[in-house]
């Protein structure tokens, strides 16, 4: 069996782990070749292509013993990977990548292989792409959240508790007022957080073409909550292209209307929870040292209130 060489680990993955997890992250990256070798041997897999990576995992195309193509996904055990396993088992391959095997100790996963080179981002007509994503999204959130997932109510409470301190880090008074407004929107909804199983990161690049279904979702970060909290990644898809067209307000509003229509969501609640995602993202940015709100967040918030 071909093993993973240390030089195959992408630098951006190593940098991400060092930034996010410090010494623990660097140690995990150093142990990746040994972990890959262990999983390849345990599941009797052969390497079948070049290693790929996102910000949190290494992905190896492989062949199973019977020749079936699959993907070996290696990631450091943490709350998000535990949630992903819960979600993948609950969706059980319905409109979601199928989990073939997993190792609970290392959080390694063996997944079905999809057409990684063809995502929804390849569709040039944005209405077609967004409608396709919305229909897939509606099927995914129809599944009640199983036990063991974090609740949106818990996350909302944590966000609201952090707002007063975060406001002091913003240098612009208009930004500070926006953050207060977004927090107020979340506070109005926090008592009814919802109970659907959310993907939490469903955008164009996390929907791949496949043989058994035209399009299948990947890389869930499951959460129990209101589907309105799940819209931001879709609205943000291909954002640079949205900005380049010079019609940001209309495009975002059109996407929002498509999503809420197909998912059957109350627009006021969906707007409030989308502002909650902008709040969450902004709090993370502030943790990273930012002193201004992201222009994309401001533009999206403005789009939701203008026709």
The one-digit pLDDT tens for each residue of the chain (307 residues) are 467 887 788 899 999 999 989 999 999 999 999 999 999 999 999 999 999 988 899 999 999 999 999 999 999 999 999 999 999 999 999 999 999 999 999 999 999 999 988 999 999 999 999 999 999 999 999 999 999 999 999 999 999 999 999 999 999 999 999 999 999 999 999 999 999 999 999 999 999 999 999 999 999 999 999 999 999 999 999 999 999 999 999 999 999 999 999 999 999 999 999 999 999 999 999 999 999 999 999 999 999 986 5
CATH code for residues 119-304? 3.90.1200.10
Strand duo 196-198 + 115-119: pairing: unpaired
Helical spans, DSSP H, in the chain = 11-30, 32-42, 79-91, 126-141, 152-167, 173-189, 232-235, 239-244, 248-263, 267-287, 295-304
Catalytic residues: 201
Q: Are 112 and 97 within 8 A, CB to CB? A: yes
Q: What is the DSSP string of 105-137?
A: TTTEEEEE--EEEEEGGG-S-HHHHHHHHHHHH
Helix (H, G, I), strand (E, B) or coil at 260: helix
The model's pTM: 0.93
CB 70 within 8 A of CB 110: yes
**Domain residue ranges in the chain:** 6-113, 119-304
Classify domain 6-113 by CATH architecture.
2-Layer Sandwich (3.30)
């Amino acid at each position: 069996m071909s093993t993973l060489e240390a030089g195959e680990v992408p630098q951006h993955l190593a940098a991400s782990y060092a930034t996010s997890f410090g010494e623990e992250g660097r140690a995990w990256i150093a142990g990746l070749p040994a972990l890959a070798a262990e999983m390849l041997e345990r599941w009797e897999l052969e390497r079948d292509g070049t290693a790929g990576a996102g910000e949190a995992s290494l992905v190896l195309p492989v062949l199973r013993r019977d020749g079936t193509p699959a993907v070996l996904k290696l990631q450091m055990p943490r709350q998000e990977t535990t949630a992903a396993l819960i979600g993948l088992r609950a969706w059980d391959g319905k409109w979601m990548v199928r989990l073939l095997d997993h190792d609970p100790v290392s959080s390694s996963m063996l997944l079905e292989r999809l057409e990684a080179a063809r995502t929804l981002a390849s569709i040039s007509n944005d209405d077609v792409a967004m409608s396709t994503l919305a229909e897939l999204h509606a099927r995914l959130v129809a599944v009640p959240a199983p036990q063991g997932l974090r609740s949106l109510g818990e996350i909302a409470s944590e966000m609201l508790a952090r707002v007063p301190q975060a406001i002091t880090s913003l240098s612009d008074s208009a930004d500070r007022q926006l953050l207060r407004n977004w927090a107020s929107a979340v506070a109005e909804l926090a008592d009814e957080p919802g109970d659907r199983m959310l993907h939490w990161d469903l955008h164009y690049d996390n929907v791949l073409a496949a043989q058994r279904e035209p399009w299948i979702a990947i890389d869930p970060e499951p959460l129990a909550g209101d589907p309105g909290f799940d819209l931001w990644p879709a609205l943000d898809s291909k954002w640079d292209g949205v900005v380049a067209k010079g019609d940001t307000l209309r495009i975002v509003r059109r996407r929002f209307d498509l999503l809420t229509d197909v998912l059957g969501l109350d627009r006021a609640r969906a707007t409030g929870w989308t502002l909650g995602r902008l709040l969450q993202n902004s709090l993370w940015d502030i943790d990273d040292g930012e002193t201004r709100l992201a222009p994309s967040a401001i533009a999206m918030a403005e789009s939701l209130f203008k026709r």
